[in-house]
Structure 1
């Protein structure tokens, strides 16, 4: 292991699907004390002004725990939308609308990655066609140059750089990245490697969760 990479394991995960009755798919995702609830609506009729003739229109909305949506939520919405658009086979539902609503229940760090994980579980629950799954991993680099995977809010506050990556389940490629702070090219590559390794645990968690759910049904 690289001396600058922290050996910290990911915080404990939790997830539950099909919680809400109104959406076509829903899920909660918990990482430590960070928790997000997601609901997927559609495919449904789309407004003519938003209609795309060869694929579905995807809208992503993130609601903070308190207060109104800010620029920060808008940036996160774009990250989640770009990731979902890259994985959804939206050409199978042309001229229709898909809406993904994410409600922040509690934020104790790594919020964007938790939003991505909740989104993937909700899309799975909705039964929408996807080319592959995806997950989000956040890494922080502290003042001494150590990389911490899945940081808490306090660790984020004390870090000099923060990065979140969306990783695909097929090739473990980076689908989306959101970065903040100062870091070197080497540190960026190290964080990507840490995130790719961490994604294996998250995809295994997805598999176990879905298996548990359907074994109950059967």
Structure 2
């Protein structure tokens, strides 16, 4: 169990799951469990890869379209994280419980992504990436960035460039909310966006020694969260 000023992490909270984690940060508290691989039913069976099914349970009340849209987002996320081609005709089931926070709030989604990442690390499943999720404000809009913390460009760089170390992005706007604004969606100047996701300037130096990271870049924040995950995993190892 890890407990700091605003971050609380707990693992193996579900004895029936192959991996489970609780993530509570800044008042956004979620619990995630992953089950499988199980034999897929005929309707879910895919001959070339595993089928992934994530269900989201809201904090209170009945399910809405927000939960359905988040399920689609997390399904795609997990299909990219897990090496699903290693498990044809199988099924993985993920269950996300929102204890506190809003279903489509960027900080709640960031907590969900981190809980998923930690649960998958604990599961022992073959993964294509390991991610950590942080939030950043761009022009009064809070956006969730899922960073691929295993991407080599985070550690060794020859030039500053926009590399594919951003695994996923979440804006918090649901499809129904976009419709209410006459079809318009969140508008962010492209240069502002590129400035956020640009890797720090460095010449084969560690990311933690660059001038840019003194201002807590999204990459440094993500690496700090990875350290918290690893510390939590190591603390559960019994020799």
Match of 1:213 in 2: 236
Which segments of structure 1 move beyond 3 Å, counting only runs of 4 or more? Answer: none
2: distance between equivalents of 1:186 and 1:75?
28
Match of 1:19 in 2: 13
Match of 1:168 in 2: 148
2: distance between equivalents of 1:140 and 1:75?
22
Alignment of 1:37-48 (within 5 A): 37-48=31-42
Number of aligned positions between the proteins = 190
Match of 1:56 in 2: 50
Superposed CA offset, 1:20-66 (max 9, x none): 12222211011122110011111011111111111110011111101
Superposed CA offset, 1:139-184 (max 9, x none): 223xxx4xxxxxxxxxxxxxx3221122112225112112253321
Alignment of 1:27-106 (within 5 A): 27-106=21-100
Match of 1:188 in 2: 193
- What's the secondary structure of 2:24's corresponding residue? strand
TM-score by length of 1: 0.79
5+ unaligned residues in a row in structure 1: which ranges? 1-10, 146-159
CA contact (8 A) 1:63 1:103 kept: yes
1: distance between equivalents of 2:227 and 2:124?
19
CA RMSD of aligned residues (A): 2.0
Match of 2:202 in 1: none
CA contact (8 A) 2:32 2:95 kept: yes
- For the pair shown, which has the larger CA radius of gyration, 1 or 2? 2
Deviation at 1:197, TM superposition (A): 2.8
Match of 2:182 in 1: none
TM-score by length of 2: 0.73
- What's the secondary structure of 2:232's corresponding residue? helix
- What's the secondary structure of 1:207's corresponding residue? helix
2: distance between equivalents of 1:188 and 1:72?
25
5+ unaligned residues in a row in structure 2: which ranges? 155-164, 174-185, 199-216
- What's the secondary structure of 1:190's corresponding residue? helix
Q: Which moved more, 1:49-58 or 1:16-25?
A: 16-25
Superposed CA offset, 1:76-134 (max 9, x none): 22222222211211122110100110000111760111000011111122221112211
1: distance between equivalents of 2:218 and 2:54?
24
